[in-house]
Structure 1
Amino acid sequence: MGTTMKRYDYRACPTGKQADALARQFGCCRFVYNAFIKERSYRYRHGGVNLTAVQFAKELTELKTTPDRRWLADVSVVPLQQAIRHADAAYRNFFRGCETGRNVGYPRFKSKHGTQSAEYTKSARFKIQHQKGAKWAYLTLPKVGRLKFRWSRDLPSVPKSVTVLKRPNGDYHVSFPVEAPILPAPQPAHEACGIDLGVASLAVVRASDGTGYTVEHPRLMRHAQRKLSRLQRKLSRQKKGSNRYRKTRHAIARTHQHMRDKRLDLLTKTAKQVTDENQAVALETLSVKNMVRRANPKPGPDRPGQWSPNRRKAKAGLNRSILDAGWGTLVRLIEQMGMEKGRDIRKIGRWAATSQTCCVCHTRDGRKPLAVREWDCPTCGAHLDRDANAAVNIMLAAGLAESLNARGGAVNRRLAQANLAGNTPMEAGTHRTVVLH
């Protein structure tokens, strides 16, 4: 049985003094990270010299002795060194992306309003104390003290480092990267499946034996939109930097974090179910970044210099629904879990017309508005659900259903029409209009 690296995250509860010490540590780490990016960019622009992490670490030691930067010596040096390494790794990832064609952005400065972090390695001599059966454990950190955290599950091995985080909503967490054993994967119930991601429903899964189910879109952003709008209006009327401004901003961050946690929980459970039940999984190649671009201006045909309506508001609502669904996170989780369980994960081309092609006779019937949820094939007369038909086509395009083609179109018809029999919770009605914002 092999092992894999995983992160075990626990909720921490620092005291007031410990929170102040961690705030100093976070601020120093952020300062060092930003200073490395600024200094490296400056030296390259003005002298063509690439500053390395080792060189800047030596300069940091000298910087601590200056009167203006003596406060850097009030915190542990290990997280500062790790911050330099993280900034250097950001540059390496950027240049590697330039060579390979991956879209990796240039390293950016860290903000005090985002997630704060400090990483302690074994050289910091951190210590974990936990009594068997106890609900709480303690993490001893240099210049912070004995930090209390919730022991929700046992660590599978001894961690070599620990990262202390503070989220924008004020929650503290400790995260341990550990080697965890790869558990034997459950016996899959199906040979293969195709998954169609959408906004009317989060995902439609169709297996090779004709069964399937639908994962409903939680629409977390829509449900929280009224509360967020009220809080943001309240924030705009308050004085920046005041205590009330800080409390309102904290409430907004807490609302967003609650949505993120609920979304990640649903996506993780969905990915686990898909990879547990299927030996092979077919997915679409989606460019979410391009799909959520704003509507292009539409020049007026008869009015030079003026513009025609381009449905900008409707496109903005569709963009919110796409981002709220978390397609990219779901695909990434399926790929990670599939690799751990030895599943075959395949992705089809981005421009495959899965929603325009009949999965029974493979006739391409042209583009259809998003409001059309069911349609009849003009060639074979099959009554198909839009998302279920697309899921079957994705499975066929990935080469996971060659055996189905040898048996003719009856199996494909059964796959695409399985939801219409009432066995799965698909949307009812023909040509039903779906509100996308």
Structure 2
Amino acid sequence: MARFRMYPTPMQKAALLEQCGHARYVWNLALEQWSMWTRDKVAVAPNFAEQCRQLTGARAKFDWLRAGSQTVQQQALRDFDQAVKNFYAGTHRRPTWRRTGVHEGFRIVGPQASRVVKLNRKWAAANVPKIGWIRFRLSRAIPDAKSYRITRDRAGRWHLAFAVIPPPIPTPGTGEVIGVDRGVTVSAALSTGELLWCPGFSDLEQGRLKHLQRRLARCQGTSRRQRVKTAIAKLHARAGDRRKDWVEKTSTNLARRFDVIRVEDLRIAAMTRRPKPKPDPEQPDAYLSNRRRAKAGLNRGILANGWGLLVQRLEHKAAGRVEKVNPAYTSQTCSACGHCVPENRESQAVFRCAACGHQANADINAAVNIAAGRAVSARRGATKGLAEA
């Protein structure tokens, strides 16, 4: 979707937060109805049409709810109905409660979503129901969309996102294949020999983040604690913006240059899961060391490099041209002769084959194996390509 940064006035911010509260209230009420429904009590759970009729009755009874936009509240019910359908289809998780300060946003559809005007070369404005015209920054052309969503992140920034899917990037037609090896020290290594790094926190920002985290641990008052949490959220938002910008530029560059893009088929959610506690067999109610701190650092490194987001955006921009390769032993296999032993990888950056003496950067060697589509069996037998598998 096309997202723009909004700059509402203080009065408009208060009105936007009120609309977000209405949408969150309606969502949570619908979730409560759905959670309480059981087959032995009620024949059918309330559907979207029935909930809309209930919303009409609630708006006639409560003035504070009638003061909000009916479109915003109905779309919250529509979003919940779609979330339930996705849950039963098995594509998404169970709908959860929406909280203040975390889930701030609402959606506008229909003719009201087309009330957008361009003010000048840098600014435009959208007419939000019950609020009025709110300015937003023109960072790209305004798409022709039938709906948009207004959200507020934890750093206090407001965004306007138009629901429009851009077309995929056309293939260059050169027939070239690229392999991408994702890592922690090197964010992405390409089979062409390029090494790419995802920008993160600077040294100054890391020091400030540590200072703010220590202040947060000592905060006593609610207002002071909220100010420190907002300052921490702004630092993380800045790093997240850099990561997303790097992912967008990298994925666009790869989609424009290569016909086929091959990546490792990694289960990132399982890789970043916290380790389970290890009970001590000799002492009851005691636990052995499970290297939790080291695993937490590795998890932060994986998430900070945007592994999942990079592949997701590649699949969006190069639709049908992204292939996932079995990641087994790609970092231990020689790209020249196919010999696979753990001793081939001497360190994080050095690869030296024990059979043929081939020496290369370890990440680039793995990227070449990924580009060739090599998959090694658990017994570390001969390598085979995707066409032979």
**Alignment TM-score, normalising by the size of structure 2:** 0.87
TM-aligned CA distance change 1:204 to 1:60, over 3 Å: same
- Distance between the aligned counterparts of 1:222 and 1:94, measured in 2? 42
Does 2:355 correspond to 1:379? yes
Aligned partner (choices 57, 77, 83) of residue 52 of structure 2: 57
- Distance between the aligned counterparts of 1:106 and 1:142, measured in 2? 30
TM-aligned CA distance change 1:349 to 1:79, over 3 Å: same
- Distance between the aligned counterparts of 1:368 and 1:299, measured in 2? 36
Aligned partner (choices 129, 147, 172) of residue 134 of structure 2: 147
Using the TM superposition, name which of 108-117 and 244-253 deviates more.
244-253
Given that residues 78 and 124 in structure 1 are in contact (C-alpha distance below 8 angstroms), is that contact kept between their aligned partners in structure 2? no
TM-aligned CA distance change 1:374 to 1:184, over 3 Å: closer
Calculate percent identity across the aligned residue pairs. Answer: 32
Query: Letter of the aligned partner of 1:91 in structure 2?
Result: V
Structure 1: gaps (5+ residues): 1-6, 400-437
Q: Which 4+ residue blocks in structure 1 deviate beyond 6 angstroms?
A: 367-370
Deviation per residue, 1:322-359 (Å, 9 max, x gap): 111110000101111111xxx62111125x22112122
Given that residues 126 and 142 in structure 1 are in contact (C-alpha distance below 8 angstroms), is that contact kept between their aligned partners in structure 2? no
Deviation per residue, 1:17-58 (Å, 9 max, x gap): 222211111100010011111111112376253221111111
Name 1:318's counterpart in structure 2.
298
- Distance between the aligned counterparts of 2:202 and 2:23, measured in 1? 33
TM-aligned CA distance change 1:297 to 1:38, over 3 Å: closer
Given that residues 204 and 212 in structure 1 are in contact (C-alpha distance below 8 angstroms), is that contact kept between their aligned partners in structure 2? yes
| 1:330-345 → structure 2 map (5 Å cutoff) | 330-339=310-319, 344-345=321-322
TM-aligned CA distance change 1:262 to 1:115, over 3 Å: farther
Q: Secondary structure at the match of 1:293?
A: coil
Given that residues 129 and 137 in structure 1 are in contact (C-alpha distance below 8 angstroms), is that contact kept between their aligned partners in structure 2? yes
TM-aligned CA distance change 1:134 to 1:371, over 3 Å: same
Does 2:123 correspond to 1:136? yes
Q: Secondary structure at the match of 1:65?
A: helix
Name 2:177's counterpart in structure 1.
192
- Distance between the aligned counterparts of 1:222 and 1:88, measured in 2? 46
| 1:5-404 → structure 2 map (5 Å cutoff) | 7-44=1-38, 47=41, 49-66=44-61, 69-97=62-90, 102=91, 104-124=92-112, 127-131=115-119, 133-157=120-144, 159-178=145-164, 182=167, 185=170, 187=172, 191-206=176-191, 211-220=192-201, 224-242=205-223, 244-297=224-277, 308-339=288-319, 344-350=321-327, 352-366=328-342, 371-397=347-373
Q: Secondary structure at the match of 2:180?
A: strand
Query: Letter of the aligned partner of 1:76 in structure 2?
Result: S
Given that residues 188 and 276 in structure 1 are in contact (C-alpha distance below 8 angstroms), is that contact kept between their aligned partners in structure 2? no
Given that residues 330 and 374 in structure 2 are in contact (C-alpha distance below 8 angstroms), is that contact kept between their aligned partners in structure 1? no
- Distance between the aligned counterparts of 2:325 and 2:168, measured in 1? 29
Name 1:415's counterpart in structure 2.
none
Given that residues 169 and 318 in structure 2 are in contact (C-alpha distance below 8 angstroms), is that contact kept between their aligned partners in structure 1? no
Given that residues 122 and 139 in structure 2 are in contact (C-alpha distance below 8 angstroms), is that contact kept between their aligned partners in structure 1? yes
Structure 2: gaps (5+ residues): 376-389
Q: Secondary structure at the match of 1:220?
A: coil
Deviation per residue, 1:280-332 (Å, 9 max, x gap): 1111111111112233445679x565655443322221111111111000010
Deviation per residue, 1:385-430 (Å, 9 max, x gap): 221111111122269xxxxxxxxxxxxxxxxxxxxxxxxxxxxxxx
Q: How far off its partner does 1:124 sit?
A: 3.5
Q: How many residues align?
A: 373
Given that residues 377 and 384 in structure 1 are in contact (C-alpha distance below 8 angstroms), is that contact kept between their aligned partners in structure 2? no
Query: Letter of the aligned partner of 2:132 in structure 1?
Result: G
Q: Secondary structure at the match of 1:155?
A: coil
TM-aligned CA distance change 1:95 to 1:144, over 3 Å: same
Q: How far off its partner does 1:364 sit?
A: 1.7
Q: Pairwise CA RMSD of aligned residues?
A: 2.7
Given that residues 332 and 345 in structure 2 are in contact (C-alpha distance below 8 angstroms), is that contact kept between their aligned partners in structure 1? no
Using the TM superposition, name which of 191-200 and 246-255 deviates more.
246-255
Q: How far off its partner does 1:178 sit?
A: 3.7
